[in-house]
Structure 1
Amino acid sequence: MLNRLAYRYHQILERHFPEQRLFLKSDTETRFIRLRPATQIMALVGGTLALAWTIVATALIMMDSIGAGSAREQSARRQALYEQRLNALSADRDLRAEEAARAQERFNIALTQISEMQEKLLASEDRRRELETGIEAIQDTLRHVIKERDIARGEVERVTLALNEQSGVATEAGRVADAMATLEFLTGALGDAAEARNEGLAEAEAAREEARLIAEAKEAQELRNEAIFARLEEALTVSVEPLEKMFREAGMSPDDLIEAVRKGYSGQGGPLTPISFSTSGGIVTPEEIRANAILNGLDRMNMYRIAAFKLPFAMPVKSAFRWTSGFGYRRDPKGAGIRMHEGTDLAGSYGTPIYATADGVVVHAGWDNGYGRLVTIRHDFGVETRYAHLSQIRVEVGQRVSRGDRIGDMGNSGRSTGTHLHYEVRLGGTPVNPMTFIKAAKNVF
């Protein structure tokens, strides 16, 4: 039964795939190769599979090319939006700085005006006190005159009595004449005293009116100063809070950064110098306290700016690229099992420029086993960045670089499966996720 089925199967194969012979002829002999139906079927199946594999591989390559093109366009659009936002933030920062400078100038003018008003107010107060002193002197004089009048009146009565006793004659006309003379003298003295008093009161009222006007002008100036201070404090808050948030999201303490920056940049000057208080025991005004708080905030923002340029908050690649592998454990692309990936990979075209992400000093520039061509930059605050698998190195050991300086070109050197940049960030020698710094800076730079 099995032989019959095998025979029929063989006949079917012979009908569709008859046995073929491939003759090989030489000068001395002729040989042939027998191609049985099973062999022909295997060859046909193998060729079909090879053709199908070729078609699938071609389709995958085309889809990858299309996807890469789309990713490049998206990266270009993101890059354009990033640059546009950076320009807008730079313009806004410059505008805030210009507004702060103008506000500082207006504040200095306001302080000068307030000082002049205070001097006028003190002068009017002194004048008022002088007038009050003059009025008191006039009143004392008037009291003295009245007292002398009373004494004179008593003296007149005594003399009149004495004359009457001596002469025995006291005419009514004489008494009337003496009384009229005394009354005229007293009336003149009282008129002069009243006129002097009225003049003193008028001068005192004028001084009070001038003091009221000066107080109103001072109050208006204080309201203007309050508006200026409020705008300055608001602008300072809007500028400083994103920087503090960026440092905290990167895992760094803003206060420690400020202290470290001050150790290297301890000088102060220019418009950010705090207002010096008098040491002669004078009272410090609230305006001086608020002005010093604003100036300290501006100085802190300046320290943040210096620290930001010394930390890797920038992108190492500015051309089109795509993320291929992130920070953390992954399956090794060379088949070495699960291994820790201590950086992040950015794939792009061969020779794509690579830039330093912060100010620092190059401590390594050469070949390093699995890293291939490697550039290592040491930054402040114990931070270090590494740029691996480069095709070309454009810096030397000991060279000081700034953020945005070109340090090499993207390549495929070392233990790599394709053109890309392996980018690492280390804190105190321990690798950390570079995306922490990149994401922390996305709303600031």
Structure 2
Amino acid sequence: MRTRLAIRAHALLERHFPERRLFLKSDTDTRFIRLKPATQLIAFSGTAAVIAWTIIATAILLMDSIGSGNFREQAKRDQRLYQARLNDLASERDQRAEEALAAQDRFNSALEQISVMQSQLLAAETRLREAETGLGVVQATLRRTMQDRDTAREEAQALSAKLGEADGPLPGTVSAAANQAALDFMSAALEQTAAERDEVTANAQDALTQAEEMSLQIALMHDHNDQIFRQLEQAMNVSIKPLDKMFRAAGMSTDRIIDQVRRGYSGQGGPLTPISLSTMGEEPSLDAGRANQILNQLDRLNLYRVAAEKAPFAIPVKASYKFTSGFGYRRDPKTGGRRMHSGVDFAGPVGTPLYATADGVVKHAGWQSGYGRLVKIQHDFGIETRYAHMSRIGVKVGQRVSRGERIGDMGASGRVTGPHIHYEVRVGGRAVNPMTYIKAAKNVF
């Protein structure tokens, strides 16, 4: 059975690959190489396999090249869109900063006007109380004078009646000439008292007129103050809401932040101290309450601004840069495997200045494996920022830095494929997306 199969296979090979002879001729001799059907089949199969492998490899490389080209073009388009968006955000941030400064200037001007007007209001209240007191004294004096006048009239009438009934000198009385002199004195005194009464009445009427004018001025001043307070309240709402929204967008508790900052800045006095517009130990007026509320909002605004300087809401690069990698899992540029990228990358020329994104204290400044030249800055609220792959470090451990202060230069130290800055934000030791803070501040700074 096996012999028959071998004969049939050999016949099939003879049909497609007949035996051939390859002659090799030299000057003195001629030789040939006998190519059997099996040998030809093996050579043909090997050649076909090589050709097929070449075709498949070429197709794979071509498809990979086309796919890589499309991916690079898409990445470039995304980077251009992101760069345009960042430029728009920077322009919008500058515009909001200008608006905030303008609102702050308007608030300072309005606060000065309020101070002047409150001084005028206090003076008007003092004059009104003095006028009311003077009017009371004048009225009391006028009533006493009128009583004295009525008493003098009754005595004069009684004396005149006695003089008319008597024909001669009355026993126990003075002479008629003395009585007439007394009567003249009383009449002159009554005329003087009447003149003083008329003068006091006129003065009282003038005081009432002035009091009515002062009341009208005070009412107008209250209306003007109400308008100013409304404008100030609106300005404070416009100023505080973006900062409050910024902290909430970054996932930070505003109440906890305000309490923590207030504990560090607890000194009091000066223009932000609550005021009282009462001069008689009374309860603060409605205007005083509104003014105190505005001052409290201004204090909260200042605390927000202090907190904003201590949280990483800025970008570490101010010069031109290219956003090359985001936060999260990505394809490792060195090994090609999937790996967690715990920060964001901004590419630029070697030597590009790098800046601290918030106030803090340098806790590390030196070489660290993988990171290369690395700077770690500890901030308030349990936040830490890292700046890796630097070419030069410009700070020392323990040094206190402010937001926007230069800490070194961009480079390509450590495990990198090119010059860039690897920027990390860690909260409680856990890496978070730095773009959360940067995007949260897009309408504020």
1:63 equivalent to 2:61? Answer no
Instruction: Specify every segment of 5 or more residues in structure 1 that has no aligned partner in the other structure, as ranges.
Output: 168-176
Cross-structure match for 2:309: 306
Matched to 1:74, the amino acid is D
Q: Structure 1 residues 323, 140: closer, same or farther in 2, change over 3 A?
A: same
Distance in 2 between residues matched to 1:155 and 1:121, nearest whole Å: 51
Q: TM-score, normalised by structure 2?
A: 0.72
Distance in 2 between residues matched to 1:23 and 1:421, nearest whole Å: 70
Q: Structure 1 residues 119, 150: closer, same or farther in 2, change over 3 A?
A: same
Q: TM-score, normalised by structure 1?
A: 0.72
Cross-structure match for 1:72: 76
2:124·2:218 contact (CA, 8 Å) conserved in 1? no
Q: How does 1:171-210 map to 2 (within 5 A)?
A: 192=195, 195-196=198-199, 198-210=201-213
Cross-structure match for 1:145: 149
Distance in 1 between residues matched to 2:189 and 2:271, nearest whole Å: 69
Cross-structure match for 2:177: none
Which deviates more from structure 2 when the two are superposed, residues 204-213 or residues 425-434?
A: 425-434
Distance in 1 between residues matched to 2:351 and 2:15, nearest whole Å: 62
Distance in 1 between residues matched to 2:129 and 2:271, nearest whole Å: 34
Q: Structure 1 residues 59, 116: closer, same or farther in 2, change over 3 A?
A: same
Cross-structure match for 1:50: 54
Q: Which whole-Å deviations, capped at 9, do the CAs of 1:140-192 have from their partners, x for residues lacking one?
A: 2122111011011112222333336879xxxxxxxxx9xx9999879957864
Distance in 2 between residues matched to 1:332 and 1:67, nearest whole Å: 15
Aligned residues: CA RMSD: 4.9
Q: Structure 1 residues 237, 13: closer, same or farther in 2, change over 3 A?
A: farther
Distance in 1 between residues matched to 2:242 and 2:77, nearest whole Å: 32
Cross-structure match for 1:212: 215
Cross-structure match for 1:291: 294
Cross-structure match for 2:391: 393
1:409 counterpart (408, 411, 415) = 411
Matched to 2:105, the amino acid is A
Distance in 2 between residues matched to 1:91 and 1:206, nearest whole Å: 53
Cross-structure match for 1:245: 248
Aligned-pair CA distance for 1:58: 2.6
Which deviates more from structure 2 when the two are superposed, residues 292-301 or residues 314-323?
A: 314-323
1:313·1:440 contact (CA, 8 Å) conserved in 2? no
Question: What SS does structure 1 have at the residue aligned with 2:206?
Answer: helix
Question: What SS does structure 2 have at the residue aligned with 1:67?
Answer: helix
Distance in 2 between residues matched to 1:8 and 1:348, nearest whole Å: 71
Cross-structure match for 2:366: 365
Question: What SS does structure 2 have at the residue aligned with 1:375?
Answer: strand
1:131 equivalent to 2:115? Answer no
Aligned-pair CA distance for 1:219: 1.8
Matched to 1:60, the amino acid is D
Question: What SS does structure 2 have at the residue aligned with 1:358?
Answer: coil
Question: What SS does structure 2 have at the residue aligned with 1:36?
Answer: helix
1:223 equivalent to 2:221? Answer no
Percent pairwise identity: 17
2:13 counterpart (10, 13, 30) = 10
Q: Structure 1 residues 236, 157: closer, same or farther in 2, change over 3 A?
A: same
2:329·2:341 contact (CA, 8 Å) conserved in 1? yes
1:23·1:31 contact (CA, 8 Å) conserved in 2? yes
1:138·1:196 contact (CA, 8 Å) conserved in 2? no
Matched to 1:365, the amino acid is G
| Number of equivalenced pairs | 415
